[in-house]
Amino acid sequence: MQTRRDAEFSEYVAARLGFLRRVAYLLCRDWDGADDLVQRALIKLYVHWARAQAADHTDAYARVIVVREFLIERRSGWSRRVRLDAQPPDAAAAETDHDAALDVRSALFGLPPRQRATLVLRYYCDLSVEQSAWALGCSAGTVKSQTAKGIEALRRALDQEARHG
Amino acid sequence: MDETRVRGLLQRAAAGQEQPSRVDVELARSRGRRKLRWRRAGLAGASAAAVVAVAVAAVAIPGSHGAAPGRGKVPQAHGPATAPSRFNPLRPYATFGWLPAGESLAQGTDSTNDVDLTAGTGPAWELKVYAAGFCDLTSREVLRRLGLHQQPQLECSKGVNGAMYQVTSVAAARVDGHTAFWTADQTYLIWQYANHGWAVLTSPIRDASSVALKVARGVRYGAAGPPIKFQLQSVNVPRGWTILVVSFWPDAGVLRGYLYAAAGTGADAGGAIFSAGPATAMSSCYPGRNSPRETINGYQVVVNHYPASNGSPPGLRVCAPDADGVAVTVATSGSHASPDAVSIFRRHLRILGTNPADWTTQPLG
C-alpha cells in the first residue's frame, strides 16, 4: 500500500529527477556514476522526507544530500586509489557532444572534487556562500577561497585548451 | 572570468546528451523504508522487541557494538599503543562504538591504508582512520605550533588518497589518551588514536562538539568487528593479486562487500574491480552501440567497451544483471589487461548466490 510519504516522494522525484541527475553528472562526469549517486541520495531523501519538506526549499535539501554523498564517495577515494574504472567516463555521451561543451566539461572535470562541488553549488545550484558552506561542511571563507581557486583553474584550463585546440 | 560566465559554462557542461535514467524510485523507497524501520527500532528503546533486535544486530554490525545507539555510557575505548602500518581490507580495523540515537553504520570503505566509515541516514558521521605513517605531524608537534599561534596543517597525503587538515584549536577532552584538535568551525575532529596513527571524525551536526567527542571516544580499533562477506569469489587469479580496497554496507545481518578491487603489484600485474548487488533489469547494464549482449557461463551479460579518453586507458566491463539473483560487474582497464574482464567472468569467478550463509570472507579464492 502506498503511503502519503510514498506518494509525495514519488511526485517530487518525478518532477525533479532530471535536475538532480544533471547536478550529479556535473559532479561525477559520467551518467552511470551520476545515476548511482542519485540513487543513493534518493534513499537518504526518502528517510528524511519529513525534514526535507519542512525545509524552506526541498530542492536545496535534496541537492545537499547529492553533494555530500559525492564528497563521501570521493573521500573514500575509490577512483584515486585504484587505477581501474568500474564506471568509466561515458563514451557514448562523449561521442555525441560538441567540441565546446567537451572543452568545458574537460576543464570542469579536471578540478579537484571539492572545488568542482563548490562551483556546482554556487553557480549551477545558485546557493549562497553560506548555504554552500553548510552543504560542504566548511566555513564561508573556505567556500570563497575554493570558488576563487576553482574559477582560476577553470579559466586556465579553458585558455590552455583554446591554445592547443 | 566573471560569475555569469561560470554559470553559463556550467549550464553548457550539464547540457550534454543524457542517457536514459536507470535511477529506480521504487528501490529508493524500499531501501528508505528499511532504513526508517532501523532508525525507529533504535529510537524505540522502551520496546522489548526493539531492544532485542538491536542487541542481535550488535553481534554482527559495527556501529551498533556495545551500548545501543544513543543510550548508556560511552564504552571506555582506548586506542592501541601503536598503529599498524597496513590494514587488512577484509576486516574493518575501526568500528563505531557509540552513535547518537537512531544512527548506525551506513557504509564503509576499507583499504590497506585507511578505513572510512559513515553512519547516519542523512548528512552523515564520517570516520577516517589512517594506518601508521600516513600523516606528517605528531600531537606534540601540533600542540607546539598552536602554542606559537600558528595554525598547523596536518597532511595525511602518503599515497594517493591524501587530505590536509588545518588545525585551529584544542578540543575540550582527550581521545584515546591523546589531545584532540579541531579544524575551523569544528568541521573535523582530529586525534592520534595511537602512536603514528591519526583518526578524523566529521560531524553532520553543527555546534555539537560534545557529541562528536563522545562518538570519537567510543571508536574501537583492532578489527574487533566481523569480517566482510562477499557474494563473489575470484578464483585462480594471477599469483600476487591481493585485495586493495573493499566497500561494504550492513545488510541482512552481515557486512556485505559490494565492491572490491584486486590487483598485483607490478605495472603489468593486472587487476580488476568487482561489484555485486541485488539482481536488476538488463537495461541497467546499458547495452549501446558498442555493448553487445552475450551469454557467458549461461548468464546473460552486456560487454561494455570504453575507449581511452582524457588520459585514461581503455576499459572493458562485463555486466550481468541477474546471475543467480546477483547483479555482477567485472571491470578491467588497459589495452592488454590480462586476464581481461571477459575472461575473468568466464573462468575466474564464482557467484555465490543470495544466501548470506553461502557467502565468503575470502574474495580471492
∠ CA B254-B259-B260, nearest 5°, is 105
On whether both A20 and A85 belong to a single domain, the answer is: yes
Neighbour tally for B78: CB within 10 Å: 14
On whether both A60 and A138 belong to a single domain, the answer is: no
Last-in-domain residue among A77, A95, A113 = A95
Q: Calculate what percentage of chain B has a pLDDT beyond 70.
A: 79
Give residue B152's pLDDT.
86
Interface of B with A in 290-349 (CB under 8 A): 290, 306-307, 309-310, 312, 315, 317, 329, 331-333
On whether both A121 and A82 belong to a single domain, the answer is: no
Which residue in A has a C-alpha nearest to residue B283's C-alpha? A32
Last-in-domain residue among A68, A95, A122 = A95
On whether both A2 and A73 belong to a single domain, the answer is: yes
Cα–Cα distance for residue pair B167/B187, rounded to 1 Å: 10
Mean pLDDT of B225-234: 92
Is there a contact between A47 and B32 if contact means CB atoms under 8 Å apart? Answer: yes
Which residue in B has a C-alpha nearest to residue A91's C-alpha? B306
On whether both A91 and A106 belong to a single domain, the answer is: no
Is the pLDDT score of B63 beyond 80? no
φ, ψ for residue B299, nearest 5 deg? -105, 140
Residues of B in contact with A65 (CB under 8 A): 122-123
Q: Which three cell numbers stand for residue B249?
A: 554496507
Cα–Cα distance for residue pair A27/B306, rounded to 1 Å: 20
Number of structural domains chain A divides into: 2
Give residue B215's pLDDT.
94
To the nearest whole Å, the CA of B262 is away from the closest chain A CA by 9
On whether both A75 and A4 belong to a single domain, the answer is: yes
Is the pLDDT score of B58 beyond 50? no
- Residue ranges making up the domain that contains A50: 1-95
**Structural contact between residues B144 and B154, judged by C-beta atoms closer than 8 angstroms:** no
**Structural contact between residues B15 and A124, judged by C-beta atoms closer than 8 angstroms:** no
Chain A contact for B4 (CB, 8 A cutoff): no
Residues of B in contact with A44 (CB under 8 A): 32, 121-122
On whether both A128 and A54 belong to a single domain, the answer is: no
Nearest to B27 among A6, A18, A39 (CB): A39
Is there a contact between B19 and A101 if contact means CB atoms under 8 Å apart? Answer: no
Give residue B269's pLDDT.
67
On whether both A165 and A101 belong to a single domain, the answer is: yes
To the nearest whole Å, the CA of A81 is away from the closest chain B CA by 6
Chain A contact for B357 (CB, 8 A cutoff): no
Chain B contact for A129 (CB, 8 A cutoff): no
pTM (two decimals): 0.60
Quote the DSSP letter at residue B90.
Answer: T
* pLDDT class of B193 with cuts at 50, 70, 90: very high
Tell me the pLDDT of chain A (165 aa) as tens digits.
457 778 888 888 888 888 899 889 888 877 887 888 899 899 889 888 877 777 667 888 888 888 888 877 665 544 444 433 333 333 333 333 344 455 677 777 778 888 888 888 888 887 788 878 877 777 788 888 888 888 888 888 777 766 655
Mean pLDDT of B103-132: 84
To the nearest whole Å, the CA of A153 is away from the closest chain B CA by 10
* pLDDT class of B107 with cuts at 50, 70, 90: confident
Q: Of residues B133 and B45, which shows the higher confidence score?
A: B133
CATH of the domain at A118: 1.10.10.10
Chain B contact for A7 (CB, 8 A cutoff): no
On whether both A20 and A34 belong to a single domain, the answer is: yes
**Which candidate, B79, B89, B81, B66, places its Cα nearest to that of B191?**
B79
Find residue B188's DSSP bridge partners.
B202
Is there a contact between A142 and B11 if contact means CB atoms under 8 Å apart? Answer: no
| Best residue in A17, A43, A61 for a mutation probing chain B (most B CBs within 10 Å) | A43
On whether both A90 and A109 belong to a single domain, the answer is: no
Give residue B350's pLDDT.
96
**Structural contact between residues B142 and B152, judged by C-beta atoms closer than 8 angstroms:** yes
Chain A contact for B265 (CB, 8 A cutoff): no
Provide the greatest CA pair distance for chain B: 68
Instruction: Tell me the pLDDT of chain B averaged across its residues.
Output: 79
Q: Of residues A51 and B152, which shows the higher confidence score?
A: B152
Mean pLDDT of B153-164: 67
Mean pLDDT of B76-97: 86
Chain B contact for A101 (CB, 8 A cutoff): yes
Residues of A in contact with B331 (CB under 8 A): 84-88
* pLDDT class of B157 with cuts at 50, 70, 90: low
Give residue B68's pLDDT.
35
Residues of A in contact with B312 (CB under 8 A): 85, 88-89
- Tally C-beta pairs within 8 A across A and B: 211
Rg (CA), chain B: 23
Nearest to B111 among A22, A68, A81 (CB): A81
On whether both A81 and A7 belong to a single domain, the answer is: yes
Q: Which residue stretches of chain A are H helix?
A: 4-28, 31-47, 49-54, 58-76, 78-81, 91-96, 99-109, 113-119, 129-136, 140-164
Q: Which residue stretches of chain B are H helix?
A: 3-14, 25-43, 48-60, 139-147, 209-218, 341-347
Mean pLDDT check: name the lowest of A93-102, B59-68, B275-284: B59-68
Nearest to B16 among A10, A17, A93 (CB): A93
**Which candidate, B155, B132, B135, B151, places its Cα nearest to that of B143?**
B151
Interface of B with A in 117-146 (CB under 8 A): 118, 121-124, 126, 128
On whether both A86 and A115 belong to a single domain, the answer is: no
Strand B299-306 relative to strand B315-323, pairing: antiparallel
Domains of chain B and CATH, by start: 25-220 (no CATH), 229-358 (3.40.1000.10)
Mean pLDDT of B340-360: 94
To the nearest whole Å, the CA of B242 is away from the closest chain A CA by 12
**Structural contact between residues B323 and B350, judged by C-beta atoms closer than 8 angstroms:** no
Give residue B268's pLDDT.
65
Give residue B60's pLDDT.
24
Summarised one tens digit per residue, pLDDT across range B292-327 is 789 999 999 988 877 665 455 677 889 898 999 998
* pLDDT class of B111 with cuts at 50, 70, 90: confident
Residues of B in contact with A123 (CB under 8 A): 3, 6-7, 10
> Which run of H or of E encompasses B229?
strand B229-230
| Best residue in B2, B3, B11, B29 for a mutation probing chain A (most A CBs within 10 Å) | B29
Is the pLDDT score of B230 beyond 90? yes
**Structural contact between residues B317 and B273, judged by C-beta atoms closer than 8 angstroms:** no
**Which candidate, B201, B207, B258, B209, places its Cα nearest to that of B232?**
B258
Mean pLDDT of B8-16: 77
Query: Cell 525507529 maps to which residue?
Result: B40
Is there a contact between B261 and A84 if contact means CB atoms under 8 Å apart? Answer: yes
Is there a contact between B315 and A88 if contact means CB atoms under 8 Å apart? Answer: yes
Cα–Cα distance for residue pair A25/A14, rounded to 1 Å: 18
Distance of CA B73 to CAs B207, B295, B364, Å? 21, 56, 40
CATH of the domain at A79: 1.10.1740
Find residue B248's DSSP bridge partners.
B108, B257
Cα–Cα distance for residue pair B285/B320, rounded to 1 Å: 7
Give residue B231's pLDDT.
95
Find residue B180's DSSP bridge partners.
B191
Give residue B122's pLDDT.
57
Which residues have CB under 8 Å from B150's CB, separation 6+?
Answer: none
Neighbour tally for B43: CB within 10 Å: 17
Is the pLDDT score of B199 beyond 50? yes
State in Å, rounded, how far the first CA of chain A is from the last one: 57
